[in-house]
């Protein structure tokens, strides 16, 4: 595939991953631009793995790399992980990037981007009754994220989807509508 085309597609995915509503109250001016720049240059081959443990190690490393590339006052683990998870999801949803980098091979390991909508939605699920109350994205730690991601995995498995797709269910409070349709494959 044309390398320039793939680069442009990746820039598009990166630009759509972090905007004013995504990054609200998560850092000083320049945070959005720094995150987009990081995604423009990110080597998607570096995230590929053949085992979930290896993938998670690479995801943690990429989160730390993104965090350190953000401006001072905006270097939060939680927002860095959220931005990265949105970017990876956008790349998965892009036919050209997914095919070129074989991202479908890691789909089952990708995390749902965590925010207040997802956190509250997961807590309302039968599997999420023991989750702590959602606080903030910037207050999120690896340990707390892992708790929410494990519940997300259980919920997603019960619906026959990968947890990365749960954002479709929980975004903007869709989880509380009365006429909710089930997500199925």
**What does the mean pLDDT of the chain come to?**
92
Question: What is the tally of structural domains in the chain?
Answer: 2
User: What is the rounded distance in angstroms from the CA atom of residue 182 to the CA atom of residue 185?
Assistant: 10
In a shared domain, residues 14 and 94 = yes
In a shared domain, residues 79 and 35 = yes
Q: Please report, for residues 69, 75, 89, 142, the alpha-carbon distance to residue 168 in angstroms, rounded to integers and kept in the order given.
A: 29, 27, 11, 23
In a shared domain, residues 102 and 59 = yes
Q: Has residue 181 been placed in a domain? A: no
In a shared domain, residues 12 and 100 = yes
Q: Has residue 184 been placed in a domain? A: no
| Chosen domain end from 57, 90, 109 | 109
DSSP track, 11-65: HHHHHTT--TTTTTTSSSTTHHHHHHHHHHH--GGGG--SSHHHHHHHHHHHHHH
DSSP track, 62-86: HHHHHHHHSPTT---HHHHHHHHHH
In a shared domain, residues 92 and 37 = yes
- The parent domain of residue 127 ranges over 116-176
In a shared domain, residues 125 and 88 = no
Tokens matching residue 29: 């001016």
| Chosen domain end from 92, 109, 126 | 109
Q: Tell me the percentage of the chain whose pLDDT exceeds 70.
A: 92
In a shared domain, residues 61 and 149 = no
In a shared domain, residues 23 and 40 = yes
Tens digits of residue pLDDT in 90-105:
999 999 999 999 999 9
In a shared domain, residues 104 and 123 = no
Residue located via tokens 């965090």: 67
In a shared domain, residues 90 and 125 = no
In a shared domain, residues 103 and 126 = no
Dihedral over Cα of 49, 38, 35, 97: its sign: negative
Tens digits of residue pLDDT in 1-34:
799 999 999 999 999 999 888 888 888 999 999 9
pLDDT above 60 (res 177): no
- Residue length, the chain? 185
Q: Has residue 35 been placed in a domain? A: yes
Tens digits of residue pLDDT in 50-85:
999 999 999 999 999 999 999 999 999 999 999 999
| Chosen domain end from 109, 137, 167 | 109
In a shared domain, residues 8 and 96 = yes
User: What is the rounded distance in angstroms from the CA atom of residue 46 to the CA atom of residue 62?
Assistant: 9
Q: Has residue 185 been placed in a domain? A: no
């Amino acid at each position: 595939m044309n390398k320039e085309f793939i680069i442009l597609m990746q820039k598009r995915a990166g630009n759509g991953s972090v905007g004013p509503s995504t990054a609200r109250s998560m850092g000083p001016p320049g945070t959005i631009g720094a995150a987009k720049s990081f995604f423009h240059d990110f080597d998607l081959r570096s995230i590929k793995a053949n085992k979930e443990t290896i993938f998670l190690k690479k995801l943690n490393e990429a989160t730390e790399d993104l965090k350190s590339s953000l401006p001072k006052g905006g270097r939060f683990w939680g927002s860095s992980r959220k931005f990265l998870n949105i970017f990876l999801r956008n790349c998965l949803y892009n036919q050209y990037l997914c095919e070129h980098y074989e991202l479908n091979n890691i789909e089952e390991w990708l995390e749902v981007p965590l925010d207040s909508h997802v956190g509250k939605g997961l807590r309302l699920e039968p599997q999420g009754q023991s989750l702590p109350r959602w606080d903030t994205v910037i207050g999120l730690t690896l340990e707390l994220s892992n708790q929410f991601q494990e519940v997300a995995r259980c919920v997603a498995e019960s619906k026959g989807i990968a947890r990365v797709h749960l954002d479709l269910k929980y975004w903007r409070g869709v989880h509380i509508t009365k006429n909710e349709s089930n997500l199925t494959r």
